[in-house]
Structure formats: C-alpha cells, structure tokens
C-alpha cells in the first residue's frame, strides 16, 4: 500500500481454471514495480473521514502450469490482470481491517489527515482511535502484465544421440 515493494510473487487462478483453489491451476506473477497514492479527508463538519488508496502495479508472468498462451489470447491476459488486482486489493483491505481491530494506525492515516486539514485535526484528533476503527478505506488497484519471463515456444530435445 505504501509502494515499497521491491519484488514479490503473487499466485492467481489461471484463466479458465476449473478449480481456482487447486495450486496446479494457478499462475505466478512477479511484481516488478508498484506505486501508490494515499489520501485521507474529512467528509463534512462531523467526524466522518474517508481514506482512498490507489495502487499501480506492473508484473511479469513468472510461472504457469496452464496451457494458455498469453501471446495469442489477450482475454486470458486481461483475466490475469483482473485477478492480480483483486488479490492485491484483498490483501490491502485485510491489512487495514487487522490494523483497525488492533487500533494501530500503522499506515499513518491520522497523520495524513491532521497534516492536511487543520479544522479536522482540532475536531477529530482527540477521538482518532475511535474514528480510525470504523474508517472506510476505498482501494483502487490498476494491474498490468507487461511481459513474460517464460519461454512460450516449446521445443523437443534430440534424444537420438
């Protein structure tokens, strides 16, 4: 969420997989670049606050057991990008929910709000712990797979020697 990812591998269901939960029907995508923008704002003169997270990720296809050739099937590539975005969105929301349950603003939402809105700071700062635990966080993820690290053309080894 903070855009500090140097490299990571995320497994997503292969396009057309009959059982997406089966590890044999998964595709590994390596995150090569990630950037994010986080904003927090008070919605009105009450204690309502909202956070927005925008994440932009570029990945490479690292491993697959699927027989889908993404160089020929653009729909499969789009499905993998959507699955990657959904996976990242879910992980971010899970982390936020866990932090809220622990009353630990590890993402610095309160600091961002207090730095950007003086009136909100005076009104909300004294009760930030309570506001934070119910803070709605909207997450938008744009995922792009720009190339494959796999060899797409199969070859037969010459075993007649």
> How does residue 102 score in pLDDT terms, banded at 50, 70 and 90?
very high
Highest mean pLDDT (candidates 7-11, 73-77, 104-108): 104-108
Residue 56 pLDDT > 60: yes
Average pLDDT value for residue range 148-161 = 47
Q: What pLDDT, on the 0 to 100 scale, is given for residue 47?
A: 77
pLDDT of the residue at 77: 84
pTM for the whole structure:
0.81
Joined together, the tokens standing for residue 143 give: 């995922």
As to burial, measured by CB atoms within 10 angstroms (0-12 exposed, 13-18 middle, 19+ buried), residue 63 is: middle
Q: Which residue has the higher pLDDT, 67 or 22?
A: 22
Average pLDDT of the segment spanning 53-62 = 92
59, β-bridge pairs: 31, 145
Residue 85 has pLDDT above 70, yes or no: yes
Q: How confident is the model at residue 83 (pLDDT cuts 50, 70, 90)?
A: very high
The pairing of strands 137-148 and 49-64 is parallel
User: In the 3-class helix/strand/coil scheme, how is the chain assigned residue by residue?
Assistant: CCCCCCCEEEEEECCCCCCCCCHHHEEEEEEEEEEEEEEEEECCCCCCEEEEEEEEEEEEEEEECCCCCCCCCHHHHHHHHHHHHHHHHHHHHHHHHHHHHCCCCCCCHHHHHHHHCHHHHHHHHHHHHHHHHCCCEEEEEEEEEEEECCCCCCCCCCCCC
Q: How confident is the model at residue 133 (pLDDT cuts 50, 70, 90)?
A: very high
**pLDDT at residue 62, as a whole number:** 82
So where are the chain's domains?
8-147
Q: Please give the class, per CATH, of domain 8-147.
A: alpha beta
Q: Per the structure block, which two tokens stand in for 16?
A: 């057309």
Q: How confident is the model at residue 148 (pLDDT cuts 50, 70, 90)?
A: low
Cα separation, 136 vs 146, whole angstroms: 32
DSSP label of 67: -
């Amino acid at each position: 969420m903070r855009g500090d990812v140097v490299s990571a591998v995320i497994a997503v269901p292969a396009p057309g997989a009959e059982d997406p939960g089966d590890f044999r029907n998964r595709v590994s995508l390596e995150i090569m670049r990630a950037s994010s923008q986080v904003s927090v704002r008070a919605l009105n003169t009450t204690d309502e606050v909202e956070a927005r997270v925008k994440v932009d990720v570029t990945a490479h296809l690292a491993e697959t057991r699927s027989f889908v050739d993404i160089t020929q099937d653009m729909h499969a590539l789009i499905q993998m990008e959507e699955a990657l975005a959904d996976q990242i969105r879910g992980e971010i929301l899970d982390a936020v929910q866990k932090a809220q349950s622990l009353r630990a603003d590890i993402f610095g939402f309160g600091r961002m709000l207090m730095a950007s809105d003086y009136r909100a700071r005076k009104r909300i700062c004294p009760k930030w712990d309570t506001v934070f635990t119910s803070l709605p966080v909207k997450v938008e993820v744009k995922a792009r797979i720009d190339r494959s690290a796999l060899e797409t053309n199969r070859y037969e080894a010459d075993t007649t020697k």
